[in-house]
Chains A and B, each alone.
Chain A
Amino acid sequence: MEVTLNHYLLIGAVMFVSGVVCMATKRNGIAVLMGVELVLNGANINFVAFARYTNLGLDGQIVSLFVIVLAAAEAAVALAIALNFYNNHQTIDVDQGDRLKG
C-alpha cells in the first residue's frame, strides 16, 4: 500500500480532533494547554504534507516553522498565566476562574 497525501491528512485530523476535545473537556489548565499544542501540531502535519505532495514549493515548510515558533511563545506566556492563576486561586481547575462572570 502506497503512502499518499490522504494518510498524512488523516493523522493530522486525528491530532486536531484530539486537541479540540482535550481543550473542551479537560478542567486542568495545563491539560488545556496540551490540547492547544496538539491542534497546532495537527495543522503543522497538514502544512508539511501539502508542501511535499504538491509542487507549490517550500512555503508550507516555512509556515510550519513559524507555527512552531509561535507555539513556543504561546506556551511561555500561557504557562506564566497558569502559574499566576495557581498562585491566586490555589487550584489549576479552570472552572474556578469565574470571577469575571457577570
Chain B
Amino acid sequence: MTEQTLFFIFAILAGGGAIGVVILQDIVRMAFSLIISLGSTAGLFFLLGADFVAATQLLVYVGGTLVLLIFGVMLTASGPFRRIKMSSGETLLGAAVGLLFFSVLAFTVIGVNWQAVPSHREVATTPSDQSGNTSRAIGLRLVGIPADAEIGLHKGSGSRTGYLLPFEIVSVHLLVVLVGAAYLARAKRHESRDAAEGDA
C-alpha cells in the first residue's frame, strides 16, 4: 500500500516535471521543473530497490549536472534570451508528433505480455533486492563475481565477464572530458590574446 502511494507520487512528479520542461517557456522555470523530474526519478530508483543508483542519481545528476545547467542558464539568460518564443504552428506540430510517438511507445509496452518472457519475475526473490542493499553486489559485479544472492540464479551460466574495462574507459573518458571542457571554456580569451599580439 505504502509502496503504491509512493510510486504514484513519484511517478506523477517525474512525468509532470518532464512535461513541464516541454510546456514551460521560461528557461529558469524549465530548469526547476527538470530538478523536480530528476529528483523524483531518484525516488523511483529507491522504490525499484536500486539504492546505489538512486544515490548516484541524486549526487551526480541533481547535485552536479543540474547545477552546471543552471550556471549555463545564468550565464546566457540575459534579457531577451530568457524566453524565446515559438510560433503556434510549431507548438501544435510538436505536440501532435509527441502524442503520436508516445502512443506508439505506450501501445508497444502494453501490448507485450511481460509475464510470458522467460526471465520475468514478479516479486523480489533475492535477499539483496528485499533489503535494497545493492552497493556491495554492484561492486562485486564490476569485477565479474556474481554476488552471493545471484550465485544460485546463474548456476551453469559459465564465466561471466565483469565491467572493469568499461569502468576504466569511462574514467579516462571523464578525465579527457574535464580537460576538454576547461580548454573549450577558456578558448576565447586565448584567441583574443593572439589577435592582440598579432596587431602589435
Q: Write out, one digit per residue, whether chain A residues 60-76 have a CB within 8 A of any chain B CB (1) or not (0).
A: 01101110111111011
User: B181 at the A/B interface (Cβ < 8 Å)?
Assistant: yes
- Say whether chain B's binding surface is mostly helix, strand, loop, or mixed: helix
Whether A11 contacts B15 in the complex (CB less than 8 A), given A58-B137, A76-B178, comes out as: yes
Residues in B whose Cβ lies below 8 Å from that of A62: 138, 141-142, 163
Query: Contact between B27 and A75 (Cβ–Cβ < 8 Å)?
Result: no
Q: Write out, one digit per residue, whether chain A residues 33-66 have a CB within 8 A of any chain B CB (1) or not (0).
A: 1110110011011001101111111110110111
Min CB–CB distance B3 → chain A (angstroms): 6
User: B60 at the A/B interface (Cβ < 8 Å)?
Assistant: yes
Number of contacting residues on A, CB 8 A?
A: 75
Number of contacting residues on B, CB 8 A?
A: 86
Set B68, B114, B134, B166: member contacting A58, Cβ < 8 A: B134
Q: 10 tightest CB-CB pairs across the interface, nearest first?
A: A80-B184, A18-B18, A25-B94, A21-B98, A73-B177, A13-B105, A14-B15, A54-B119, A17-B102, A76-B181
Q: List chain B positions with a Cβ less than 8 A from chain A.
A: 3-4, 7, 11, 14-15, 18-19, 21-22, 27, 30-31, 34, 37-38, 41, 44-45, 47-50, 52-53, 56-57, 60-61, 64-65, 68-69, 71-73, 75-77, 81, 84, 86, 90-91, 94-95, 97-98, 101-102, 105-106, 109-110, 114, 117, 119-122, 124-125, 129, 134, 137-138, 141-142, 146-147, 150, 153-154, 163, 166, 170, 173-174, 177-178, 180-181, 184-185, 187-188
